[in-house]
Amino acid sequence: MTVRVPVRGALLVWARERSRVAPEDLFIRFPALMEWEEETKQPTLKQLEKFAQATHTPVGYLFLPEPPEEHLPLPDFRTIGDLDIGQASPDLLDTVYQCQQRQDWYRDYARLQRQEPVRFVGTLSTDVDVVEAARRMLEVLEFTPSQRGSSWSEAFRRLIDQADANGVLVMVNGIVGSNTHRKLDPREFRGFALVDDLAPLVFVNGADTKAAQIFTLAHELAHVWLGQSAVSDADLEFPSANAVERWCNQVAAEFLLPSEALTRLNVSLQSLTDPLQDLAREFKVSTLVVLRRIFDGGFLTQSQFRIAYAEERDRVLALMEERSSGSGGGNFYNTQPLRVSRRFARALIEGTLEGQTLHRDAYQMLGFKKHSTFDELASHLGVL
């Protein structure tokens, strides 16, 4: 006899909408879903578990009397223009929770190792001049244009390595954990910062362009210097209504492309592409960052900037689509330390080998299941 589970239709509707999975895909996969939602039929427990998995919903939520209110556990500064983005997706929520778990572990590890607090966390405020704030960040991170290498990838790796060497856990991932079926959407968020004096953590959405990731990393590092956790979209087109976000955007832009570099510009709307491309290559930033800096420098009116920005954004998005269609997964042992932070991975492996953490828990935080993968990653990082 088939045992069916009494579940409220409103919970199923909530889970479906919350998941952001295309409704037609769910109705094809679960032909009786409409009947379940209308409560004219009930799912079996196995069907309900599969539905929970498909919608990235904790199965226990589906037995609640009402849909739960979910809130990001850190300030949410994401906007489109002047409007709040609203409810975070399960992908964003799960990514934040994963990073919090890793940060909690590393904080305890740092205390056991008697590590000193990271010296620059919270040393700036929004009252500090943007140029001075960028100068102080450059002083620590040693990321002048001449130190950025010959490509955006080199520059990004250099900035990650410098942040890591100075105590920041930098995690870059374009998917949720190791699940290649759950790609993060840069239109929802580009990054976030979890500020802590022992374990400051920044996450960068790796599904974005490399140049955009560099700006996001600089923006989130500004949050660390400010001592303010937040999830943000690092939007350059519209000035944020939030003073913290505006300041972090301005500091990141100055950090990457100093205002004094704009003094040699001769901007013409008829030949705007050349200076955009030249400065982007020289400073290893996105053309959208350059365009914003040109506008901030007074070279464009607001109307001219909006038109030019929309055109350049569409060009960049088209390039992203083209490149993503032919991209591969890369080497796991090169990719995984980037996803979970090289500093975190080394510490976790060392702590596990010393008996401070169960192997099972280490595998879960690192995103794999086999002991052979653990040993290979340890060897790759020089721990074994």
Q: What pLDDT does 286 receive? A: 87
| Same domain flag for 135 and 250 | yes
| Same domain flag for 268 and 296 | yes
Answer whether residue 140 shows pLDDT above 90: yes
Phi, psi angle pair for 352, to nearest 5°: -70, -45
Determine the 3-state secondary structure of 379 from DSSP.
helix
Highest average pLDDT, of 274-288, 298-312, 317-331, 334-348, comes from 334-348
More confident position, 2 or 99 = 99
Percent of the chain with pLDDT over 70: 91
| Same domain flag for 105 and 245 | yes
Cα atoms in the Cβ-side hemisphere of radius 13 Å centred on 72? 25
* pLDDT grade for 330, boundaries at 50, 70 and 90: low
Answer whether residue 191 shows pLDDT above 70: yes
| Same domain flag for 300 and 185 | no
Examine residue 72 and state whether it is found in any structural domain, yes or no.
Answer: no
Examine residue 133 and state whether it is found in any structural domain, yes or no.
Answer: yes
Q: What is the pTM of this model?
A: 0.89
Is there a contact between 286 and 215 (Cβ–Cβ < 8 Å)?
yes
Q: What pLDDT does 26 receive? A: 96
Q: What is the pLDDT of residues 302-319, one digit of tens each?
A: 888 888 888 888 887 777
DSSP secondary structure, 45-75, as one string: HHHHHHHHHHTT--GGGGGSSSPPP---SS-
Examine residue 75 and state whether it is found in any structural domain, yes or no.
Answer: no
**Residue 256 and residue 244: Cα distance in Å, rounded?**
18
Contacts 24+ apart (CB under 8 A), 11-17: 11/61, 11/62, 11/63, 11/64, 11/66, 11/67, 12/36, 12/37, 12/51, 12/62, 13/37, 14/67, 15/51, 15/52, 15/55, 15/57, 15/61, 15/62, 16/55
| Same domain flag for 33 and 114 | no
Residue type, 345: A
| Same domain flag for 119 and 242 | yes
Residue type, 80: I
Is there a contact between 384 and 378 (Cβ–Cβ < 8 Å)?
yes
| Same domain flag for 192 and 248 | yes
- DSSP category for residue 10: H
Q: How long a stretch of residues is the chain?
A: 384
Average pLDDT for 220-236: 89
**Residue 203 and residue 373: Cα distance in Å, rounded?**
24
Examine residue 3 and state whether it is found in any structural domain, yes or no.
Answer: no
Examine residue 183 and state whether it is found in any structural domain, yes or no.
Answer: yes
Q: What pLDDT does 23 receive? A: 93
| Same domain flag for 222 and 272 | no
Domain limits for position 271:
257-324
Number of domains in the chain: 4
Examine residue 215 and state whether it is found in any structural domain, yes or no.
Answer: yes
**Residue 149 and residue 283: Cα distance in Å, rounded?**
10
| Same domain flag for 243 and 129 | yes
- Average pLDDT over the chain reads 89
Examine residue 76 and state whether it is found in any structural domain, yes or no.
Answer: no
Q: What is the pLDDT of residues 143-152, one digit of tens each?
A: 998 899 889 9
Examine residue 82 and state whether it is found in any structural domain, yes or no.
Answer: no
Tell me the H-state helices in 71-230: 90-112, 130-141, 152-165, 210-226
Least confident interval from 182-186, 297-301, 356-360: 297-301
| Same domain flag for 226 and 139 | yes
Q: What is the pLDDT of residues 240-291, one digit of tens each?
A: 778 999 999 999 999 999 988 877 766 665 667 677 888 888 899 888 888 8
Residue type, 91: D
Average pLDDT for 109-134: 96
Q: Which two tokens stand for residue 343?
A: 């500093």
Average pLDDT for 110-136: 96
Is there a contact between 226 and 75 (Cβ–Cβ < 8 Å)?
no
